[in-house]
């Protein structure tokens, strides 16, 4: 695996567990690179939807992924040179991405792209299988979760702030459906590995969770230097 000596912190977990926000802030605190692996799947989903490709059409989904023209410029996500930072965060895009993420061939196509983000001084990444499949030798692996109601409230707040109508009950049902689909898929299912630290964020603030992750990493770094 590329650059095994470069430290990696992985944060896996279910949708709306806060792993993206936490991973981004931890990366900032450490001066590490950051990879939101879900964005890659969402970009494939967005490109497929724009070309009217059905989520069930695995061959064309995979073909789309192979020639995906993606770039990350400053804080923006670009597809074919167009800023799609907002579009990839839409609920419909996330639902589509969750459906196609079960395809083994698609996951294989995107694997090398994800691993190429491993550069000095280090990498913090979040997703569903970052610790179990993409970076099995990660320095610190965390499974970040929260109960469905808490995650629905967080997602509801995000949507309302963007001026998007939402219903808490519908969000809870949707999250539970995605949890089941992600955990039961044959290719890289969502799971907590034996060498992964469980971190339940229910009732905790963002700062509290970030500090816990940084403390875990500091403990591991100190131990490795002894």
**CATH code of 187's domain:** 3.40.50.300
Is there a domain that residue 3 lies in?
no
The values of phi and psi at residue 83, to 5°, are -70, 115
Tokens of 145: 């979760």
Is there a domain that residue 41 lies in?
yes
Pairing of strands 82-83, 140-145: unpaired
pTM of the model: 0.81
Q: Is the pLDDT confidence value at 103 over 70?
A: yes
Compute the Cα dihedral for 123, 126, 128, 132 and give only its sign.
positive
d(CA 224, CA 132): 21
Would you say 13 is a known binding-site residue? yes
Is there a domain that residue 64 lies in?
yes
Q: Which residues pair with residue 33 across a beta bridge?
A: 123
Is there a domain that residue 165 lies in?
yes
Reported as a single tens digit per residue, the pLDDT across 119-164 is 999 999 998 889 989 999 999 999 999 999 999 998 898 888 878 8
Would you say 122 is a known binding-site residue? no
pLDDT value for 41: 92
Would you say 16 is a known binding-site residue? yes
Is there a domain that residue 213 lies in?
yes
Would you say 15 is a known binding-site residue? yes
Q: Is the pLDDT confidence value at 226 over 80?
A: no
Is there a domain that residue 62 lies in?
yes
Is there a domain that residue 83 lies in?
yes
Tokens of 149: 């109601």
Would you say 148 is a known binding-site residue? no
Give the count of domains, the chain: 1
Pairing of strands 123-127, 8-12: parallel
Would you say 187 is a known binding-site residue? no
CB 130 within 8 A of CB 10: yes
Residues 6+ apart with CB under 8 A from 206: 18, 21, 22, 25
Can you give the residue range of the structural domain that contains 137? 8-217
Surface-to-core class of residue 19, CB atoms within 10 Å of its CB (0-12 exposed, 13-18 middle, 19+ buried): buried
In the predicted model, what is the mean pLDDT of residues 38-61?
94
Would you say 21 is a known binding-site residue? yes
């Amino acid at each position: 695996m590329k650059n095994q000596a470069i430290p990696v912190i992985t944060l896996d977990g279910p949708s709306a567990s806060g792993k993206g926000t936490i991973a981004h802030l931890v990366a900032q605190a450490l001066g590490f690179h950051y990879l939101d692996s879900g964005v890659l799947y969402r970009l494939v989903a967005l490109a497929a939807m724009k070309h009217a490709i059905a989520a069930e059409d695995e061959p064309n989904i995979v073909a789309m992924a192979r020639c995906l023209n993606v770039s990350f410029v400053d804080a923006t996500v670009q597809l074919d040179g167009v800023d799609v930072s907002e579009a990839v965060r839409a609920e419909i895009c996330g639902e589509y991405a969750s459906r196609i993420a079960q395809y083994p061939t698609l996951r294989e196509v995107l694997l090398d792209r994800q691993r190429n983000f491993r550069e000095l001084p280090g990498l913090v990444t979040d997703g569903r299988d970052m610790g179990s499949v993409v970076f099995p030798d990660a320095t610190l692996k965390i499974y970040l979760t929260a109960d469905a109601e808490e995650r629905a409230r967080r997602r509801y707040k995000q949507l309302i702030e963007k001026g998007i109508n939402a219903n808490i009950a519908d969000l809870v049902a949707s999250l539970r459906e995605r949890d089941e689909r992600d955990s039961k898929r044959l290719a890289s299912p969502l799971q907590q590995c034996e060498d992964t630290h469980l971190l339940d964020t229910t009732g905790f603030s963002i700062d509290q969770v970030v500090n816990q992750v940084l403390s875990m990493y500091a403990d591991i770094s100190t131990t490795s230097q002894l």
